[in-house]
């Protein structure tokens, strides 16, 4: 199987990153909880290469701003089993995400919960347990035929 290719970092405010009103069409993976989940469970060398010498877009003061900080955050996420966001993409918005790993051990999707940081769930362990249970159910799915 050919290696999966990761998208290169976006360089806002270019036209490929925004719509006609200036709203983000997509956000660099380093600046979103779901993007970080996809990166964290990808090959570290494959992740590091596109970010070499790239200035990471800073969407808020909490956005990861350097390649080294990104790689450290991804390693911490792998140890924890999930990624988390506390205002990295937008002030006042947080979230957690888990990777969806197929039967071959490949990450192909991620699933996340987003919330206003002021309304962060009291029992995040319960939220994560539910996300991981759903992830396990999806990972076991085998199409008929």
Q: What is the DSSP string of 52-98?
A: TTPPPP-SSTTS--SHHHHHHHHHHHHHHTSEEEESSSSTTEEEEEE
Low-confidence ranges of the chain (pLDDT < 70): 1-27, 145
Q: Are 88 and 64 in contact (CB under 8 A)?
A: yes
pLDDT in tens, 50-88: 888 888 888 899 999 999 999 999 999 999 999 999 988
Q: What is the pTM of this model?
A: 0.77
| Domain 29-139, CATH among 3.40.50.300, 2.60.40.420, 3.40.50.720, 3.30.450.40 | 3.30.450.40
Give the position of tokens 């800073």: 58
Give the pair of three-digit tokens for residue 20: 């006609």
The pLDDT of residue 13: 43
Q: Are 9 and 67 in contact (CB under 8 A)?
A: no
Q: Are 124 and 96 in contact (CB under 8 A)?
A: yes
Crossing angle (nearest 10°) for helices 33-40 and 67-80: 80
Residue 137 CA, chain-centre distance (Å), reads 20
What's the CA gap between 123 and 36, in Å, rounded?
A: 22
According to DSSP, residue 60 is labeled S
């Amino acid at each position: 199987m050919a290696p999966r290719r990761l998208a290169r970092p976006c360089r806002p405010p270019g036209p490929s990153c925004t719509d006609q009103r200036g709203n983000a069409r997509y956000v660099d993976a380093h600046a979103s909880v779901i993007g970080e989940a996809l990166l964290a469970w990808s090959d570290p060398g494959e992740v590091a290469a596109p970010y070499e010498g790239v200035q990471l877009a800073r969407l808020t003061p909490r956005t990861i701003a350097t390649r080294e900080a990104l790689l450290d955050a991804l390693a911490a996420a792998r140890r924890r089993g999930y990624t988390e966001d506390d205002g990295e993409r937008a002030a006042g918005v947080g979230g957690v995400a888990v990777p969806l790993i197929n039967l071959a051990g490949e990450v192909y999707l991620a699933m996340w919960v987003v919330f206003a940081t002021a309304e962060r769930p009291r029992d995040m362990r319960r939220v994560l347990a539910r996300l991981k249970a759903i992830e396990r159910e999806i990972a076991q799915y085998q199409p008929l035929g």
